[in-house]
């Protein structure tokens, strides 16, 4: 009878240990899933930042390309205004 009680106690202990190990594995898996989600968010943020940076660079390049045209146009406008001012004074 004593052997049966110790066997039952041993089986209960094994069940408890298996449950603890299962809980540990589940906690580790949950943490890994959370970390995967966080890493996914970081990747998405980096992609958005890269796209925004690319767009800013493209806008700057386009603005710089038009600089000479705008400068020439403003010089012509300034020349016309200056000429009209001189004609008005005469």
Please give the residue that has the higher pLDDT: either 39 or 72: 72
d(CA 70, CA 82): 18
**Domain that residue 55 falls in:** 2-65
Q: Residue 80: inside a domain, yes or no? A: no
Q: Residue 82: inside a domain, yes or no? A: no
In this structure, of 5-9, 10-14, 45-49, the range with the lowest mean pLDDT score is 5-9
Predicted confidence at residue 54, as pLDDT, reads 92
Q: Residue 86: inside a domain, yes or no? A: no
User: Helices 2-65 and 67-89, interaxial angle, to 10°?
Assistant: 40
Q: Number of structural domains, the chain?
A: 1
């Amino acid at each position: 009878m004593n052997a049966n009680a110790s066997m039952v106690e041993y089986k209960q202990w094994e069940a408890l240990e298996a449950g603890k190990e299962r809980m540990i594995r589940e906690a580790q898996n949950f943490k890994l899933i959370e970390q995967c989600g966080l890493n996914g968010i970081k990747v998405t943020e980096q992609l958005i930042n890269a796209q925004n940076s690319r767009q800013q660079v493209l806008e700057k390049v386009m603005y710089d390309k038009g600089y000479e045209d705008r400068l020439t146009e403003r010089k012509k406008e300034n020349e016309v205004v200056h000429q009209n001012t001189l004609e008005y004074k005469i």
